[in-house]
Amino acid sequence: MTADIPMTTTTATAQVDKQAAPGKSPGAARGPRRTGRIRRIALPYLLLLPALLLELLVHLVPMAIGILMSFKELTQFFIRDWTTAPWSGFDNYQLSVDFDAPVGEALLHSFLVTCGFTLLSVGLCWLLGTATAIFLQDTFRGRGLLRTLFLVPYALPVYTAVITWAFMFQHDNGLVNHVLHDQLGLTDKPSFWLIGDNSFIALLTVSVWKGWPFAFLIVMAGLQNIPRELYEAAALDGAGMWQQIRHITLPSLRPVNQVLVLVLFLWTFNDFNTPFALFGKAAPEAADLISIHIYQSSFVTWNFGTGSAMSVLLLLFLLVVTGVYLLLTSRRRKTADV
Amino acid sequence: MSSATSKPRSPMAAPRSFLWARRIFLTLLTGFVLVPVYVMISSSLKPLQDVSGTFRWLPSGLTIRPYIDIWSTVPLADYFVNSAIVASAATVCSVVIAVFAAYAVSRYRFRGRRVFTVTVLSTQMLPGILFLLPLFLIYVSIGNTTGIALFGSRGGLILTYLTFSLPFSIWMLIGYFDSVPRDLDEAALVDGCGPIGALLRVVVPAATPGIVAVAVYAFMTAWGEVLFASVMTNDTTRTLAIGLQGYASQNDVYWNQIMAASLVVSVPVVAGFLLLQRYLVAGLTAGAVK
């Protein structure tokens, strides 16, 4: 597939050379001009072709197959040739949403955990990112250093950041217990952070630590586009710093926030890297995010049909939320403009 | 971003409450951000007994032993090479493909233009887990029928990762190319450049910050990915993302070595990112957030 790239490039360049010829001599015969026109129409499609083919191969076709697989009884016996697995209708879906049975109950629990986690993580990331961007808007000494520093968590590869946090959350030799128990005496005995209920807090902490600089980066970029005259006019009208933030900065950021919150939501909801690097293949129940739950249901128990059905349900949920979100926020923006 | 390009909010002096809020907030945040970084660096220089017993803020003695041992405990150098090859190749391919696609969308009005952008962007929404197994099956069957080994090979991983960064790259470059004045490439066309000549000689140089930003993003995406690497690599093609877990599966967990390895693995990306961050902010300002 990678061979496509140079190929398309050369055909496109060759085409340009040919195309340039009729352009230079307006009196050329009708034939070449017509092929030139066809080529001009074809050119954008040719330019898009590599991207399109790759998206088809890696995203869209697998998605279609994933949807097909969700209607099959796909266990390890059929993995060599999945097409031979027997059709099972909506069995996989029924199994997934039967909340009284163990499989459905566990899925519902994982879904609710993911919702809570996503709301908190996105909220905190947005809050930290926006506050920091606003506080770093004016020049002061050390501003450039802080900005660079704050981007470090985002620049670190997920797994090294998570491994470091996993070390800090260790029961016997971790920093967190040392500070909370040994130094501050806040807990009676050292707590377990990577198993049991505390694992939710651990996961949330790591997720926010890693995620907020992205919000900071986007909001910082968004702030650059606010015209300075707005602030000057507000200052002339006697608006103080806090009022300027409330009445100019935050409203001006609304279009940026619309996209930022959506992207943060989708990434956090689908996040696999963080819980996988923190807990391994099986997450504790309190931090059982949906991606890792489905991974566990498919690859550890070798039941791919059910895993696919769960993924399709997840996709449908994300589609509905995204649609409703865009509808609501766009409408609000429109009424706000009027 | 130099201070010349950033816009101070207002010429008037900030009130005391604002300055105090800023001071307290930024101090706390700096602590939160720095503690793990400090733990990573200091632990990587500690002898094993310091990281096995109760946590100590200051090492009992400094040693560079972990930095020597990491290479023999697990085949870190091999993982490093694999990650470097995969991430570089994915970045180059992704940027080239994104440049062509974004140019088409930015400069041509053609049927299906909107469908294309919406489709590409919406792939961001897909849960990775939904297409992980089908993709794995597709790669296996391509291997069985054509003999092209995609499953377990670096090629398959490159192919997968480059499509991960493609949607965001295309989206950002469309915005960036839109901000490059059309007169520039029209002048090039008049001068006898073809559309591709205009793209390569005029638009690409003018959009360099955006392209650098996209390249940084693509490299980081490939360097940090865990899910697909966990399924699609074997012993010889394992990347750092999975290889690093090798230190934890030893009988004793060598936390000092894990921290040293994490640091070694992070330095290339963090350094690259911090050096190029001003391009990323400039690229986002001109492209994505407009």
**pLDDT of res. A337:** 52
Task: Please tell me the class of the A99-337 domain.
Answer: mainly alpha
Residues 183-202 of B with CB under 8 A from A: 192, 194-197
Residues of chain B positioned with their CB less than 8 A from the CB of A298: 129, 133
**pLDDT of res. B3:** 39
Total beta-carbon pairs less than 8 A apart between chain A and chain B = 321
Contact A160 B159 (CB under 8 A): no
Chain B interface mutation, best of A158, A167, A229, A274, highest count of B Cβ atoms under 10 Å: A167
Looking at the whole model, is its pTM more than 0.80? yes
Contact by Cβ (8 Å): B272, B219: yes
Low-confidence ranges of chain A (pLDDT < 50): 1-29, 338
Residues B74-286: name the CATH superfamily: MetI-like (1.10.3720.10)
**pLDDT of res. B193:** 82
Residues 89-148 of A with CB under 8 A from B: 128, 131-132, 135, 137-139, 143-144, 146-148
- Closest CB to A225 among B220, B269, B290: B290
Give the contacts of A215 (CB within 8 A, at least 6 positions apart): A125, A126, A128, A129, A130, A260, A264
Contact B7 A146 (CB under 8 A): no
- Closest CB to B127 among A5, A82, A314: A314
Structure tokens at B259: 């921290």
Give the residue extent of every domain in chain B: 17-63, 74-286
Give the nearest chain A residue to B231 (CA atoms).
A299
Give the contacts of B24 (CB within 8 A, at least 6 positions apart): none
**Average pLDDT value over all residues in chain A:** 84
- List the alpha helices (DSSP H) in chain B: 16-44, 48-52, 65-73, 76-107, 113-122, 128-146, 154-179, 182-190, 195-198, 204-206, 208-224, 227-232, 240-243, 255-286
Q: Residue B233 in 3-state DSSP? A: strand
Backbone angles phi, psi at B233, to 5 degrees: -115, 155
**pLDDT of res. A6:** 40
B121 touching chain A per CB within 8 A: no
Contact A137 B6 (CB under 8 A): yes
Chain A interface mutation, best of B3, B7, B9, highest count of A Cβ atoms under 10 Å: B9
State the nearest Cα–Cα gap between B213 and chain A, in angstroms: 12
Orientation angle between helical segments B128-146 and A304-337, nearest 10 degrees: 130
Contact A8 B270 (CB under 8 A): no
Contact B101 A244 (CB under 8 A): no
Contact by Cβ (8 Å): B108, A44: yes
Contact by Cβ (8 Å): B108, A41: no
A82 touching chain B per CB within 8 A: yes
- Kindly give the confidence (pLDDT) of every residue in chain B, 290 residues in length, as a single tens digit, with 9 standing for 90 and above: 333 444 455 445 678 888 999 999 999 999 999 999 999 999 999 998 888 888 889 888 899 999 999 998 889 999 999 999 999 999 999 999 999 999 999 888 888 888 888 888 788 778 888 888 888 888 888 888 888 888 888 989 999 999 999 988 998 888 888 888 888 888 888 888 888 888 888 888 888 888 988 998 899 999 989 889 988 888 888 999 888 888 876 667 889 999 999 999 999 899 988 888 888 777 777 655 55
**pLDDT of res. A191:** 87
Structure tokens at B143: 């291997």
Q: What is the pLDDT of residues B54-111, one digit of tens each?
A: 888 988 889 999 999 999 888 999 999 999 999 999 999 999 999 999 999 988 888 8
Contact by Cβ (8 Å): B39, B259: yes
B134 touching chain A per CB within 8 A: yes
Residues 22-51 of B with CB under 8 A from A: 22, 25-26, 29-30, 32-37, 39-40, 43, 51
Q: What is the ipTM of this complex?
A: 0.87
CB atoms within 10 A of CB A246: 12
- Closest CB to A1 among B1, B159, B258: B159
Residues in chain B: 290
